[in-house]
Amino acid sequence: MTRPTCLVTGSSSGIGAAIVRQFAARGYDVVIHFNSGADRAENIAAEIRAENQVETLVLGGDLSQPDAPFDLIDRTFAHYNRLDVVISNSGVVNYIKDEKDEIVRYRFSETPIEHLDQEMTRVLELNLKGAYRLAQRALQRMMEQAERETDPLHRSILFITSISDIAPESTRIPYGVSKAGLNHAVIGAAFDGGPHNITVNALRPGVIDTPLTNRPSGIAEPDSGREFTVAETYGLMAEGGAQPIRRVGQPEDISFAAYAFTQIPYMTGQLIAVDGGFTLPGNFPNRELFIQEGLRQRQRG
């Protein structure tokens, strides 16, 4: 019997790399997708083959381009002749760099319209449209398989979205908008997939320590003036009591959840946070208090 197949977009680093490793360890053949990290993707593929004795396929493509998500699904299906799990993980933040290669941040009420247009184009083309197109083609392919089966196998599509859909930061509104838009796509796709035993869900990570969150946060350490990264800032908040689990997440936390969510045949159309409890009621509006408390805790230590 052939092994099941899992495609993960944006899997040459960070969360995506952890997810393909997780599925390979569980006996899946995996498709490692990259946009610019070809060497990283090939290295991950070699590592997975050596450790798990499964097949790997490395495919590139800029999923912000209209035809690329369809092409990625079709190439995967052509290679394996099956498609069991598709995880849409590729994404970018909305920040645009200036001519000095420095990140430019504007709060919601202050953003010049030209800058907002650039930010919206950046996140909507990949985070929303790219993921939408990928899932649409994946669902079509999975439905074709199900229609050939007397008792259709359980197949799964999972969107990696974000808690930014309900926990906005004033300079990152376009990013949250792109992720919130996917919530509706999840629900609509779940209605189409259900009769074919295809589940569609969203995993909404909190702050995860990845290359994406190692960018500057705009918040400086009081004593040294050193600018914290995003992961460090939210780590301070966690230490200060912003969430019950007092740390930021690791890619492996999300990989465990991604595998688990795709194996549940009676869960569909759900938008589930994996965030250490960060979005529990009452936490996010007090972020500045938690940062200050986190700093005090570190100074005491």
48-94: pLDDT as tens digits? 999 999 999 999 999 999 999 999 999 999 999 999 999 999 999 88
Partners of 6 in the β-ladder = 30, 85
d(CA 23, CA 29): 8
245-274: pLDDT as tens digits? 999 999 999 999 999 999 999 999 999 999
Instruction: Report the CATH number at residue 58.
Output: 3.40.50.720
φ, ψ dihedrals at 162, nearest 5°:
-175, 150
Q: Is the predicted pLDDT of residue 204 greater than 90, yes or no? A: yes
d(CA 99, CA 5): 43
Q: Is the predicted pLDDT of residue 285 greater than 70, yes or no? A: no
- Expressed as residue numbers, the domain containing 171 is 5-211+248-280
How many distinct structural domains can be found in the chain? 1
Long-range contacts of 182-186 (CB under 8 A, 24+ apart): 182/127, 182/128, 182/131, 182/132, 183/271, 185/128, 185/131, 185/132, 185/135, 185/159, 186/159, 186/161, 186/269, 186/270, 186/271
97, part of any domain: yes
- In the sheet that holds 85-88, the strands lie side by side as 56-60, 29-34, 5-8, 85-88, 155-160, 198-205, 271-274
30 to 74, 78, 166, 202, 257: CA distances (angstroms): 15, 14, 32, 20, 17
239, part of any domain: no
**pLDDT at residue number 143:** 98
60, part of any domain: yes
279 to 166, 180, 273, 287: CA distances (angstroms): 8, 15, 8, 11
Instruction: Kindly indicate the confidence band of residue 190, based on its pLDDT and cuts at 50, 70 and 90.
Output: very high
**pLDDT at residue number 67:** 98
Pick from 66, 4, 73: which is nearest to 33 by CA? 73
Is the separation of the CB atoms in 30 and 82 below 8 Å?
no
235, part of any domain: no
159, part of any domain: yes
223, part of any domain: no
Is the separation of the CB atoms in 47 and 54 below 8 Å?
no
149-174: pLDDT as tens digits? 999 999 999 999 999 999 878 888 99
Share of the chain above pLDDT 90, in %: 72
d(CA 41, CA 38): 5
Distance of CA 249 to the CA centre of its chain: 13
On average, the pLDDT of the chain sits at: 92
192, part of any domain: yes
Instruction: Kindly indicate the confidence band of residue 234, based on its pLDDT and cuts at 50, 70 and 90.
Output: confident
**pLDDT at residue number 209:** 92
127, part of any domain: yes
φ, ψ dihedrals at 144, nearest 5°:
-60, -40
